[in-house]
Structure 1
């Protein structure tokens, strides 16, 4: 009977383990979130404390009220006015935490404030224990890697820093890597390094990895550079065949190159402008080493042979248009009718009547 239930029990066991892992991860997130909420509450409390610093009971006889009802400065009324503005109405977690621990605020306000002026430390860290001191993490406020003064040796962020959550692992800043954030990523080298301090400095732009700041200190060159005792730029534009298309010229840059469009006067080129053409494009001709436009309209042979046409020159080409007073119909220029003539109509005349 038990053997037949084996696969089912294993499935239940796996599902239960997954549930526990999910619950554990969710709890870790909640611990971080709870500290963030508590920090927000104490920040808003301090703002409210400053906001109400110069207020009073607001009655007509303030001196009498303070003498009989205690001073506004330390009154429960002032405390309530501060507590009312700690949370946004939409923040469920914030409002729940304030409501759940309201008596702690009263205790601090009336009994602990003088001896423990840091509300965040007293309330969030020491009393409800949702936060830890800076540089520590987790349920027991363990010290972050690198020490609480310089978590991750000053080169990264400690997971859960200042909260009761997290695992204390370092997320290294840009340029740093490793468990302790003391090693350098590719493209950087250790300018200073010991067991507790590391300064990573960027390599020369030609280096993929390096031991110093110049192109002579490269361990390996980046793509687009080659090792000649030092990493030097590869001029891709001198390679055969050219890396660019026929209607483009190659422009070299450090570690790379780009392809630029030739001037429209060129059929192939070695650089920008009409004086760098390898040959002239149709409609252009070489004049003293530069490709210039051919004016087809000034040639001995008429470019527009049809009757009543005029030639208009364009860059690299020309067009034929009908002369003034003519319009194009079926490929021919036909004289336009005079609108005035078309509108003229014979006038009606009336014979005069004879006298009776």
Structure 2
């Protein structure tokens, strides 16, 4: 039995494809991207073309003129479309003037030809981070996408990773070594993280507040799971040793101060007043202000 002719094979293949697949044409965006890709390749191919060796100073001067010249542009344009590529030639014929304008006047200001030509000028393509005919915003996890969810990503944004057929957040706080300083805790965010300061009562911490301390600073102790100030003035062993001296508790510490009407001596608070005045035991008064301390 003779094998089917090539034409018959082609017909059989078309019958296996759906009508949409058999007649599907490149989208305007794909055509535009292909043209830009060929243009960029043409720029690579013509870089320093026909120059090599010899007078370096002369070459640099001449190449500088050639780099942005119409001569080089013409060489690039001539290689963009094959003679039988009707769609490429049609697109080039329609927008040749735009490419020339970009080349001569806008190349430095808009170095990304695809973004300037296909996205901003012809508006046949969406900018990265958008999708669809209306260029709707991708999910925050996507750098590029074809739909609205994190499962439609083409590429994941920085801080996200492809996992289980979707872009998922990277928890930087679980990294080793830890990303934050010793007196900070790490708070994970979508696509990033921040380092927050520990509570002022902590020596190291795992989260916000005095209940997340790893250890307590001197002058604090754990009470009901939180670092709380120790009232040294209420301890059985009094911290203030001079006679008549008052003790005032402060956050994490205490101060010993002679009360009003008394002055400091070596080991006692001595009452000041008229000669012959009776010296009495001092009674606690209002805590001194910070200025007094």
Per the normalisation by structure 2, the TM-score is 0.51
Deviation at 1:208, TM superposition (A): 1.5
What are the ranges of 5 or more consecutive residues in structure 1 without an aligned counterpart?
Answer: 1-13, 15-143, 152-157, 160-165, 193-198, 342-356
**In the alignment, which residue of structure 2 is the partner of 1:306?**
242
1:1-356 superposed matches below 5 A: 177-181=115-119, 182-189=124-131, 191-192=132-133, 199-228=134-163, 229-328=165-264, 333-338=269-274
Looking at structure 1, the residues matched to 194 and 106 of structure 2 have their Cα atoms a distance apart, in angstroms, of 47
What are the ranges of 5 or more consecutive residues in structure 2 without an aligned counterpart?
Answer: 1-60, 62-93, 278-293
Distance 1:322 1:180, change over 3 A: same
Looking at structure 1, the residues matched to 187 and 254 of structure 2 have their Cα atoms a distance apart, in angstroms, of 33
**Aligned pair count?**
182
Looking at structure 1, the residues matched to 106 and 235 of structure 2 have their Cα atoms a distance apart, in angstroms, of 85
Q: Could you give the per-residue CA deviations for residues 229-278 of structure 1, whole angstroms, max 9, x where no partner exists? A: 20001112223332122222221111111121222222111122222221
Moved over 6 A (4+): 166-169, 329-332
Looking at structure 2, the residues matched to 306 and 313 of structure 1 have their Cα atoms a distance apart, in angstroms, of 16
Deviation at 1:177, TM superposition (A): 2.1
CA contact (8 A) 1:145 1:180 kept: no
CA contact (8 A) 2:203 2:217 kept: yes
Looking at structure 1, the residues matched to 212 and 240 of structure 2 have their Cα atoms a distance apart, in angstroms, of 32
Distance 1:244 1:180, change over 3 A: closer
Deviation at 1:323, TM superposition (A): 1.7
Looking at structure 2, the residues matched to 235 and 208 of structure 1 have their Cα atoms a distance apart, in angstroms, of 18
Distance 1:167 1:245, change over 3 A: closer
Distance 1:208 1:337, change over 3 A: same
SS at match of 2:249: strand
Looking at structure 1, the residues matched to 153 and 253 of structure 2 have their Cα atoms a distance apart, in angstroms, of 55
Q: Could you give the per-residue CA deviations for residues 22-53 of structure 1, whole angstroms, max 9, x where no partner exists? A: xxxxxxxxxxxxxxxxxxxxxxxxxxxxxxxx
**In the alignment, which residue of structure 2 is the partner of 1:73?**
none
Looking at structure 2, the residues matched to 237 and 167 of structure 1 have their Cα atoms a distance apart, in angstroms, of 48
SS at match of 1:179: helix
SS at match of 2:136: strand
Looking at structure 2, the residues matched to 327 and 218 of structure 1 have their Cα atoms a distance apart, in angstroms, of 76
Deviation at 1:168, TM superposition (A): 9.9
Alpha carbon RMSD of aligned pairs, Å? 4.1
